[in-house]
Structure 1
Amino acid sequence: MSIFDFLKPKKNTAETAKSRLQILIAQERSSASAPDYLPLMRREILEVIRKYVVNVDIDEVKVDLVKNGDQDVLDISVSLPDRGSAATGD
């Protein structure tokens, strides 16, 4: 240990850990604030899409609630397969 070691700023690992924990908690709260009906809505949207287009995976349907100022905006994104996969008939 050098005589000048006391002049170096000490790392405050407790403060760093606290900051990281606060970030994690904030992320959890933001995802937990999403309405409970979004997963059900996502599955129902997928069921309707599958009536007209085959081979659509549930992971290709994204439903999110986005805050835009004082308004909530429902953001729905669906990735459809190539045209060759479209259902025929009916």
Structure 2
Amino acid sequence: MSFLDLFRRRRDDSAAVAKERLQLILAHERAGREDPDFLPRLQKDLLGVISRYVPIQDDRLNVSVQRSGHAAVLEINIELPPRG
């Protein structure tokens, strides 16, 4: 490890955090909760992470959960601004 590595931002850290959050959400869903009260918090967290890299407005991100039998689908829609 060089001295400059101390000041470089590691991209795998944010990926690991995102993976951990999604695993927690899935575990939470599998526990049988019916009320998805975590969605507003998840949306806020995602917006914060994405806005570090791309300017995005609050209304351009939508998070929803759809249930069908024993399965649940977490759907995340993000409208990114056009490249300029």
Band of TM-score, shorter chain: 0.5 to 0.7
Matched residue, 2:36: 35
Give the letter for the 1:64 counterpart: S
Q: Matches of 1:60 and 1:76 in 2, distance apart?
A: 11
- Given that 1:34 and 1:65 are in contact with CA atoms closer than 8 Å, whether structure 2 keeps it comes out as no
Matched residue, 1:60: 60
Q: Matches of 2:69 and 2:83 in 1, distance apart?
A: 38
What is the root-mean-square deviation in Å for CA atoms of aligned residues?
A: 1.2
SS in 1 for 2:73: strand
Count of residues in correspondence between the two structures: 51
Runs of 4+ with deviation above 2 angstroms: none
Gaps of 5+ in 1: 1-32, 85-90
Alignment of 1:1-90 (within 5 A): 33-54=34-55, 56-84=56-84
Q: Matches of 2:81 and 2:39 in 1, distance apart?
A: 23
